[in-house]
Amino acid sequence: MIINNNKEFELEDFLNEELEYSKMTPSSAVWDRISKEVKPHYRWALWVLTLLMLFVPYSLVMYYLPTKQGASLASNNSSNQTILNFRDNNKSLTKATNASKAVGKSNGSVIETTSSSIVNEGHSAEEDISVTSITEFADNKTKSEADALQTVSLAPLKLSDMVNAHLNLIQPKKTALKNSQTTLLPTKVKTASKFSVEVYATPSVSYRNLKDDKSRLQYYRDIYRNNPFTDNIAAKNVNTVLNQKAGFGKEIGIGTRYSLNSRWKLKAGLQFNVQQYSTEAFQTTGTANYAFVKNNALDSVSTKALYATDGTNKVDLNNTMYQLSIPIGIQWDAIKKKKFSLGIGASIQPTYLLQDDTYVVSTDYKYFSKGSNFSKTWNINSAVDLSFNYSNKDFIWYFAPQFRYQLGTTYQDIYSIKEHRWDLGLKIGVVKTF
C-alpha cells in the first residue's frame, strides 16, 4: 500500500494505471525464435526409426532369396552319378561276356545257358545280377536294329550271336548317353510357408473435419442474459470460419501375413504416419480462451496466443502430427486369375502420438494456440484398401487406393471442438513369400 498526499491506493493498481498505454508488441522474429527454442528437437529420432523400418525387411528379403548355385550343384552331382552307374553296368556286361567265352570253348560252338550270377565290381555279393534271358539278333544285316532286337526264352545260341549282342549293349547311342547325363535325382517338393513379409509406402493427402459441441453456449446464456456473443457463435460453422487446406502426408510400414487358405490372410505390422494440413492465420498477440463444461458448470482455461483468425499480417500455419501405429487386419483375394488378383483389405490401428506440431482455435473463434496442450497420446485409426496384385515367383507386387479414418477425436474432451482426421492415399508395396 502507498500513501501519497494523504491518499491510500494499491501499488498494483497504480502501476496498471500508469503503464496502461506503455505496451510494446515484440516483433514476429522474436516469437519465432522463442518457438524454435522451446520446440522439442527429436526429429532425428524419427528418421532413424524410418531407416530401421526399411532396413529390417530388406535384410529379411535378401537373406531368404533363392540362389541358382544349389540347383546347379544338384544337377552336376546327379549327372556324375548317372555316368558312374553306366560305367559299372558296362564292366558287369564285360565280365559276363568273358564268362560266356570260357564256357563256349569248353563245350564247342554251342552254348546252353540256364542261369548264372554276375558280381558287379565294387559291389557286395548280395547285389548279384541273375541272367535269365538273352537277346538274339537276326542274321540279315539289311534289317534295322529296332527290327533285329527280339527277346526269346532261354535256348542254345551260337557264340558269335552272343558276342554280337554284347557288343551292341556296350556301345549305346550318343543320344541315349546324353539323356542319361541330364537325368536328375529325385528331390523333395518344397512346401510353401503360410507366413510372408511385406514392405509398403503410402503417399497421401490429409484432411480433417471439425464439429463444435456448443453445449457450453447454454451456460453462457444462463450467466449473461441477452449476450450477443453467444448468438454470434451459435450461428457460425467452425469449418467455414477457418480457412484450411489439405496437406501431403506419408505412411511407411512393414508387416507380416498369415495365410488361412488360398484367399484369406491375417496381417499385422508396424507403421509410421505423418499427417499435415495448413490453416490461414494472422500474426498478432492476445489471449486464447477455451471454455468447457465440467460437472455441470462452465469453466475455461487461457493461454498465450501469437496468431488470430483475423488481421492484416497473413501467414499459413503448418499443422503436422507424427504417429506410430500397429495395424491389425485381414486380406481377402476376391478375384484370382493366373498371376493377377484383386484383393480387399481392412485394419484397425492402435496409434501412439510421437509429436504434435498443430494449432487449435479458441472456443470464441478468435485466436490460435499450440494444440499439444490438448492432444491425446493414444488414439485408434481404421483403414480399408482395394489392392491390385501381380505375382512373380516368390514376390507379390501391389498398389492399392486406401482410405484411413481416425475413429477417436484428436484432442481431449476438455476441448469442445471435436476433430477427426482422414487420409486418401495410394499404397505401394511388395510381399515376399517363403
Domain boundaries, the chain: 40-65+192-433, 80-181
Per-residue model confidence (pLDDT) at position 95: 53
Give the mean model confidence (pLDDT) for residues 81-109: 48
Answer yes or no: is pLDDT of 9 > 90.
no
Q: Express each pLDDT in 150-192 by its tens digit.
A: 444 444 555 566 656 655 655 555 455 555 555 555 555 667 7
CATH of domain 40-65+192-433: 2.40.160.20
Q: What is the 3-state secondary structure (H, E, C) of the chain?
A: CEEECCEEECHHHHHHHHCCCCCCCCCHHHHHHHHHHHCCCCHHHHHHHHHHHHHHHHHHHHHCCCCHHHHHHHHHHHHHHHHHHHHHHHHHHHHHHHHHHHHHHHHCCEECCCCEEECCCCCCHHHCEEECCEEECCCCCCCCHHHHCEEECCCCEEHHHHHHHHHHHCCCCHHHHHHHHCCCCCCCCCCCCCEEEEEEEEEEEEEEEEEECCCHHHHHHHHCCCCHHHHHHHCCCHHHHCCEEEEEEEEEEEEEEEECCCCEEEEEEEEEEEEEEEEEEEEEEEEEEEEEEECCEEEEEEEEEEEECCCCCEEEEEEEEEEEECCEEEEEEEEEECCEEEEEEEEEEEEEEEEEECEEECCCCCEEEEHHHCECCEEEEEEEEEEEEEEECCEEEEEEEEEEEECCCCECCCCCEEEEEEEEEEEEEEEEEC
Whether 132 has a pLDDT exceeding 50, the answer reads no
Q: pLDDT (tens digit, 9 = 90+) per residue, 217-244?
A: 777 666 555 555 566 777 788 888 899 9
pLDDT-derived band at 390 (thresholds 50, 70, 90) equals very high
Q: Is the pLDDT of residue 432 over 90?
A: yes
Q: Does 254 score more than 90 pLDDT?
A: yes
Which pLDDT score, from 0 to 100, does residue 405 have?
97
pLDDT of 124 strictly over 60: no
pTM passes above 0.75 = no
